[in-house]
Amino acid sequence: MFRHVNLKWALALAVPTIAALTVVAGAVASPQTVTFGSSNDGASAGWAAGKGSAIELTLGSSASSFADVKLHQVHGAAISSLTAPSFSTNDYNAGSPRYYITLSDGNSLWGYPSNAGLNGGTFAWAINNGNTYMSWDQVQASAEGAATVDQAYVIADADQAGGTVDEITGLTFGGMDYN
């Protein structure tokens, strides 16, 4: 036997269920994601022991070798409101590895880990790869404080010897932990 279902009543019952699912789905924070890239010369980038572990950036054999990790969920973040991005590495030489952040105003921020020794043993920042190193507070107080983030990477390059493996730990950006 066929029963007639009142469409208005069916929708009235369905809407609260859909709304409840939306609230639950909205309450779940999206996980921090990354993508890895590398040159085609034996270089590689990836998790050392699965997602959330240390990230290994391994350099290849060419003079243009690179390995990088791109951070997602950062586009549009205001520099003025971000907590200081940072990471630690077991190896550092001549600017590698480093943060490379492109900004909405066409400039870039280059961030060097504390073992670079460029800012008194703290993370050092330079605008457009300049030779003036500053703290994150100084970056925020500069003209760059009004900019937003387009993209953010941690990059290792051929300033280090081929086969060098940079282990990236404590990777944070805007208060988000990536490993």
* Segment 95-150, tens digit of pLDDT: 999 999 999 999 999 999 999 999 888 999 999 999 999 999 999 999 999 999 99
pLDDT tens digit sequence for 83-97: 999 999 999 999 999
Architecture of domain 34-177: Sandwich (2.60)
Domain regions of the chain by residue span: 34-177
**pLDDT tens digits for range 50-94:** 998 999 999 999 999 999 999 998 999 999 999 999 999 999 999
Dist. CA 161–CA 86, nearest whole Å: 23
Q: Please, which pLDDT band fits residue 24 given cuts at 50, 70 and 90?
A: very low
Non-local (6+) Cβ contacts of 150 within 8 A are 75, 102, 103, 104
| Structure tokens given for 107 | 């400039």
- In angstroms, the Cα distances linking 94 to 91, 98, 131, 148, 160 are 11, 10, 13, 27, 7
Phi, psi torsion values for 168, nearest 5 degrees: -100, 120
Distance between CA atoms of residues 151 and 48, nearest Å: 23
Backbone phi, psi, residue 156, to 5° = -115, 140
Contact present, 132 and 12 (Cβ < 8 Å): no
